[in-house]
Structure 1
Amino acid sequence: MTTEGSERETAPGDADRPWSHEQAVVGDVRLHYVAAGDEDDPLVVLLHGFPEFWYSWREQIPALADAGYRVVAPDMRGYNLSEKPRGLDDYRTVELVGDVVGLINHFDRDAAHLVGHDWGGVVAWETAIRRPEAVERLAVLNAPHPERYRQELRRNPEQWGRSLYVLYFQLPWLPETTLGASDCAGVAEMFRETAGPDTFSETDLRRYRMAACRPGALTSALDYYRAFFRENLRREVRRLLGRETSQYVVRAPTLLVWGERDPALGVELTEGLERWVPDLRVERLPDATHWVQNDRPERVNDLLVEFLGE
Structure 2
Amino acid sequence: MPTPAGTFDAVAAGPRHGRKVLLLHGFPEFGIEWEHQLRALAAAGYRAVAPDQRGYSPGVRPAEVEHYHLDYAVRDVRAMADALGWHRFDLVGHDWGAAVAWIAAAKYARRVRSLTAVSVPHLGAFAEARRTDPAQQEASKYMEFFRQPAPIPENSILASGPPKLPGVAPEKCAEYFRRLSRPGALTVALNWYRANDFEGYEQRVSVPTLFIASTKDPMVAPSGIHATKNWVSGRYRLEVLEGIGHNIPEQAPEATSTSLLAHLASACS
Bucket of the pairwise TM-score, normalised by the shorter protein: over 0.9
Aligned residue for 1:251?
206
Aligned residue for 1:215?
183
1:147-186 matches, within 5 Å, as 147-173=124-150, 174-181=152-159, 185=161
Aligned partner letter, 1:103: M
Q: Distance in 2 between matches of 1:129 and 1:217?
A: 30
SS at match of 2:113: strand
What CA deviation, in whole Å up to 9, does each residue of 1:149-168 have, x standing for no partner? 11112221121011011122
1:96 is displaced (CA, Å) by: 0.3
TM-score by length of 2: 0.93
1:263-302 matches, within 5 Å, as 263-278=218-233, 279-302=235-258
Structure 1 segments unaligned to the other structure (5+ residues) = 1-23, 236-245
Aligned residue for 1:305?
261
Aligned partner letter, 2:230: R
Q: Distance in 1 between matches of 2:130 and 2:156?
A: 26
Aligned partner letter, 1:304: L
Q: Distance in 2 between matches of 1:305 and 1:42?
A: 12
Aligned partner letter, 1:64: L
1:1-310 matches, within 5 Å, as 24-79=1-56, 81-173=58-150, 174-181=152-159, 185=161, 187-189=162-164, 191=165, 195=166, 199-229=167-197, 232=199, 235=200, 247-278=202-233, 279-310=235-266
Structure with the larger RCO, 1 or 2 (CA within 8 Å, 6+ apart): 2
Aligned partner letter, 2:211: L
Please identify the structure whose Cα radius of gyration is greater: 1
SS at match of 1:114: strand
Moved more, 99-108 or 273-282: 273-282
Q: Distance in 2 between matches of 1:86 and 1:134?
A: 30
1:274 is displaced (CA, Å) by: 3.1
Aligned partner letter, 1:220: V
TM-score by length of 1: 0.81
State whether residues 218 and 246 of structure 2, in contact with CA within 8 Å, keep that contact through their aligned partners in structure 1. yes
Moved more, 248-257 or 166-175: 166-175
Q: Distance in 2 between matches of 1:220 and 1:211?
A: 12
Q: Distance in 1 between matches of 2:228 and 2:52?
A: 29
What CA deviation, in whole Å up to 9, does each residue of 1:189-232 have, x standing for no partner? 4x2xxx1xxx2222112111111112211111111111112x73
Q: Give the ranges of 4+ consecutive aligned residues of structure 1 lying more than 6 Å apart after TM superposition.
A: none
Q: Distance in 2 between matches of 1:100 and 1:109?
A: 11
Q: Distance in 2 between matches of 1:30 and 1:165?
A: 31
Q: Distance in 2 between matches of 1:223 and 1:308?
A: 32
Moved more, 78-87 or 163-172: 78-87
Structure 2 segments unaligned to the other structure (5+ residues) = none
Q: 1:188 to 1:273 in 2, by over 3 A?
A: closer
Q: Distance in 2 between matches of 1:35 and 1:213?
A: 24
